[in-house]
Chain A
Amino acid sequence: DTAVSQTPKYLVTQMGNDKSIKCEQNLGHDTMYWYKQDSKKFLKIMFSYNNKELIINETVPNRFSPKSPDKAHLNLHINSLELGDSAVYFCASSQGTRYNEQFFGPGTRLTVL
């Protein structure tokens, strides 16, 4: 009965490769997010989608492309991976008002070699 799930949990890849991270929520929420946590544990929003529509795009390189096939899924595709992309990526969902709790996935640790 996991609320927000992400796959894979760990991802190790070479520079220049393309990879995807998947996120699914079963909470019936209409808003989903991607956050990046760097090596210093700083969490920063990357994207948010509301009902499959892009709402927030935080000056992220266009090598990062989110895709939301339906409101329960928000995938993150990364092209031409760079060393600086190494981080933990968290997916989250909420019912979409600023007062509501965001529910986070377990995170995907991406290591680019």
Chain B
Amino acid sequence: AQRVTQPEKLLSVFKGAPVELKCNYSYSGSPELFWYVQYSRQRLQLLLRHISRESIKGFTADLNKGETSFHLKKPFAQEEDSAMYYCALSENNTDKLIFGTGTRLQVFP
């Protein structure tokens, strides 16, 4: 069955430290992967998507099909990056999003 795993519920770092939020997936087809973010008191919103190969707010994510991973990385964390981050997979024949359990990132000053 399709699954998205985010092994860390909470990740705490200090400002300026590198950040890596882990995401592994299990999917038999060709995966389309996304990172969504929910800042405090804001709605869930797209951060970046695999197909765009973009860097948003300094974050990047590379799809590694061999390791079935889509880890989110940022070289220098900022306090405003503190939020809940969800990795999500879009199925091949529907546009259903399967979400991971989320990782709360806390960036301390």
A and B held together in a complex: yes
Binding-face segment, A10-18, A69-77, A79-87, A104-112: A104-112
Is the Cβ of A31 less than 8 Å from the Cβ of B84? no
Is the Cβ of B49 less than 8 Å from the Cβ of A45? no
Residue in chain A with minimal CB distance to B92: A98
Residues on the B chain within 8 Å of A94, using CB: 95
B43 contacts the other chain (CB 8 A): yes
Q: Which of B66-100 contact A (CB under 8 A)?
A: 84, 86, 90-92, 94-99
- Please measure, in the bound complex, the distance between the C-alpha atom of A94 and the C-alpha atom of B43, giving whole angstroms: 15
- Please measure, in the bound complex, the distance between the C-alpha atom of A48 and the C-alpha atom of B96, giving whole angstroms: 8
Is the Cβ of B94 less than 8 Å from the Cβ of A102? no
* Given the contacts A48-B95, A56-B96, A99 and B43 also touching, CB distance less than 8 Å: no
| Count of A interface residues, CB-CB < 8 Å | 28
Is the Cβ of A43 less than 8 Å from the Cβ of B90? no
Residue in chain A with minimal CB distance to B42: A106
Residues on the B chain within 8 Å of A105, using CB: 43
Residues on the A chain within 8 Å of B98, using CB: 45
B11 contacts the other chain (CB 8 A): no
- Please measure, in the bound complex, the distance between the C-alpha atom of A33 and the C-alpha atom of B94, giving whole angstroms: 12
A97 contacts the other chain (CB 8 A): yes
Is the Cβ of A98 less than 8 Å from the Cβ of B43? no
Residues on the A chain within 8 Å of B94, using CB: 48, 55-56, 98
**Other CB < 8 Å A-B pairs besides A48-B95, A98-B92, 12 of them?**
A4-B43, A42-B101, A43-B86, A43-B99, A43-B102, A45-B96, A45-B98, A97-B95, A99-B49, A101-B46, A102-B97, A105-B43
**19 sample A-B contacts, Cβ–Cβ < 8 Å, listed by A number:** A31-B95, A33-B97, A41-B84, A41-B101, A41-B102, A42-B99, A42-B101, A43-B86, A44-B99, A45-B97, A45-B98, A56-B96, A90-B43, A99-B49, A99-B51, A100-B95, A101-B34, A102-B97, A104-B43
Binding site for B on A (CB under 8 A): 4, 31, 33, 40-45, 48, 55-56, 58, 90, 92, 94, 96-107
Q: Sort A-B residue pairs by CB-CB distance and give the 4 closest, nearest first.
A: A98-B90, A104-B44, A43-B99, A101-B46
